[in-house]
Amino acid sequence: MTRKHDRPTIFTGRPAVSNLRKSNSHYWLQTTPAVAFRPDFAYLRVVLPVYFDHNATTPLDPAVKAVMLPYLDEIYGNPSSVHQIGVRARAHLDEQRDRLAHLCGSKPSEIVFTSGGTESNNLAIFGVARTLKAKGRHLITSSIEHHAALHCFQYLAKKEGFAVTYLPVDASGRISPDDLAKAIRPDTILVSLMAANNETGTIQPVAELGALCQEHGVLFHTDAAQWFGKEPFIDIRQFNANLVSICAHKFHGPKGSGALYIQSPLLPDPIIFGGGHENERRAGTENLPAIAGLVEAFTRFIPTPVFDRKQLQPLTERLLNGCLAIPGVHFRGSAAHRLANTISFTVEGCDGISLMAGLDLESICASSGSACSAGSLEPSHVMTAMGVDPRQANALVRFSLGKASTLEEVEHVIARFPEVVMRIRP
Ligand code: PLP
């Protein structure tokens, strides 16, 4: 099917340089189809570019988009207005909240709509820390969190007098419940640990970590931005968490849309001030199109995970084995506890930026860490925390596949990747 990315069909093989034009310092394939004979896989059809960066973001699903459109058009009211146009918008907002709460097994009042994963994490971490600071000033997180959590803790330590313990991880990127138990102190007020890591796909024993916090009477937040849509979801309580971050664009919803589950009766201080929206927890006129998109994507893609393990595990295993055949390539992550769509490895004698540029020239979209830091030369903090040598930590490749990924795409990457590496190595 060539429909999936609305891009031209071309055949595998290195595109001729004349097929590339430079624009905004990125190379883009021109739309003229190119045919190349591949002796190993004669005439394999691949739609280029190959998009293996679904942990950065996913395309908006057409059915989700269709649900959003009326909210950009005829349902334009402000849910806070008291006239009929506003009342209609309010009814839609309430309905969306009820739907999400129903799917989560929560109360509607426990859902706060936000602008995405970053804001959900900020609200959970700053909100709880500031609300409970009279009770204690000790916070626990891990050294592999996304910057959307990590930078909150760094700020709280630097500017607001909190003590923060950063839990270590083992070589596969897993947090140990024993380490958490040892780190909890009488003045600990919040533990925040991600459910699955964006760079490695390592899945944390989050229910166990949450249960430990419950035992010790400490609030637990989990950043589940990368987890939803990839692992089986039954009920929001399965995390044993008081707060859970949700991010729509990781599962074919719109960007700039997310939610924070806040277990009642917890009422964290707001981080955005203004009107009394979202039950006094998040000021600002509600973004109904984004909210409708989030709820529709959640309905479609979470109860039955859109990143299907049965489909994606064999693809990522094949891709990993193909890449590991190159000398100096080392798998980074957990073989036993890995999101089925994600594989990460480091490449000796290379650097992340050259690897990304080399892959992009082959029309392969990957990542060398989280998208937010992909342009930076800093070694990945996740790799460093896993004990990887800093030079290696700077040579990370992450492939994250999606629902439309195919074996042909995998074979294309396996065929092109050795040459990319050879061109970079001195
Ligand atoms: N948390 C994790 C684990 C992520 O991977 C991301 C995005 O990459 C975020 C938070 C931030 O989400 P958003 O892009 O919606 O701000």
Contact 416, 49 (CB under 8 A): no
Start-to-end C-alpha separation, the chain: 39
- Regarding the beta carbon of 188 and ligand 1, being less than 6 Å apart is answered no
Give residue 46's pLDDT: 83
Distance CA 141, CA 420 (A): 37
Half-sphere exposure of 330 (CA within 13 A, CB side): 18
Task: Kindly state if the Cβ of 117 falls inside 6 Å of ligand 1.
Answer: yes
- Which among 114, 226, 367 is the best mutation to test ligand 1's pocket, defined by most ligand atoms within 8 Å of the CB? 226
DSSP 72: G
| Cα distance between residue 44 and residue 14, in whole Å | 13
Q: Along the 426 residues of the chain, how does pLDDT read in single tens digits?
A: 334 444 444 444 444 333 333 333 333 333 333 434 444 544 457 888 999 999 999 999 999 999 999 999 999 999 999 999 999 999 999 999 999 999 999 999 999 999 999 999 999 999 999 999 999 999 999 999 999 999 999 999 999 999 999 999 999 999 999 999 999 999 999 999 999 999 999 999 999 999 999 999 999 999 999 999 999 999 999 999 999 999 999 999 999 999 999 999 999 999 999 999 998 899 999 999 999 999 999 999 999 999 999 999 999 999 999 999 999 999 999 999 999 999 999 999 999 999 999 999 999 999 997 555 555 667 899 999 999 998 899 999 999 999 999 999 999 999 999 999 999 998
Atom of ligand 1 nearest to the CA of 249: 15
CA–centroid distance, 255 to ligand 1, in Å, is 10
Ligand 1 atom 4: the closest Cα is on which residue?
A: 225
d(CA 394, CA 381): 9
Our answer on whether the CB atom of 125 is closer than 6 Å to any ligand 1 atom is no
Give domain limits for the chain. 9-48+307-424, 62-301
Task: Say how many Å lie between the CA of residue 124 and the centre of ligand 1.
Answer: 14
- The number of the ligand 1 atom at minimal distance from the alpha carbon of 57 is 8
Residue 116, ligand 1, Cβ within 6 A: yes
**pLDDT for the residue 43:** 47
CATH superfamily membership of 9-48+307-424: Aspartate Aminotransferase, domain 1 (3.90.1150.10)
Task: Provide the whole-model pTM.
Answer: 0.91
The CA 53 to ligand 1 mean position distance, Å, reads: 13
pLDDT of residue 371: 54
What are 402's two structure tokens? 């999606």
pLDDT of residue 7: 44
Q: Could you tell me where the DSSP H helices lie in 273-398?
A: 277-280, 288-301, 309-324, 352-361, 381-385, 390-393
Does the 62-301 domain belong in CATH 3.40.1160.10? no
> CA 217 to CA 197: how far, in whole Å?
26
- Atom of ligand 1 lying closest to residue 247 CA: 15
User: Which tokens belong to 237?
Assistant: 């309580």
Closest C-alpha to ligand 1, atom 5: 198
Q: Is 372 a catalytic residue?
A: yes
Contacts of 332 (CB under 8 A, 6+ apart): 173, 200, 344, 345, 346, 383, 386, 388, 396
The per-residue pLDDT for 175 is 98
Q: Which of 152, 247, 323, 372 is catalytic?
A: 372
Is any atom of ligand 1 closer than 6 Å to the C-beta of 142? no
User: What pLDDT was estimated at residue 16?
Assistant: 37
Per-residue confidence (pLDDT) for residue 23, from 0 to 100: 36
